[in-house]
């Protein structure tokens, strides 16, 4: 695949302050957690909150719900936070 064509298929996003290059399209909550943490916290009471901004025009910012996904675009910013529900 030509390099220019490959570049057209990816976007650079910011996850917890770090640049990540991902394929265009949608990312799930689980995929964003994996991008945010090398070893994500686990446990019965661990849950994640994901907020985003600089998204697409119809929903430029918001919170990603459990099991949800979001369409990514160049320069989009995500904050992924682990919390303990106990």
Task: Give the model confidence (pLDDT) of 4-41 as tens digits.
Answer: 545 689 999 999 999 999 999 999 999 999 999 999 99
pLDDT at 1: 44
Q: Give the total number of structural domains in the chain.
A: 1
CATH number at residue 39: 3.10.20
Helix (H, G, I), strand (E, B) or coil at 8: helix
Answer for the pair 72, 11: CB distance below 8 angstroms, yes or no: yes
- Mean pLDDT confidence for 62-69: 92
pLDDT at 7: 60
Tell me the whole-structure pTM to 2 decimals. Answer: 0.86
pLDDT at 13: 98
Domain span holding position 60: 3-84
Task: State percent of the chain over pLDDT 70.
Answer: 91
């Amino acid at each position: 695949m030509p390099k220019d064509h490959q570049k057209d298929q990816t976007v650079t996003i910011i996850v917890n302050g770090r640049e990540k290059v991902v394929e265009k399209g949608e990312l799930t909550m689980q995929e964003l957690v994996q991008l945010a943490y090398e070893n994500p916290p686990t446990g019965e009471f661990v849950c994640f909150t994901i907020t985003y901004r600089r998204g697409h025009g119809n929903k430029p910012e918001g919170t990603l719900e459990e099991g949800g996904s979001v369409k990514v675009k160049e320069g989009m910013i995500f904050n992924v936070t682990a919390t303990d529900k106990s």
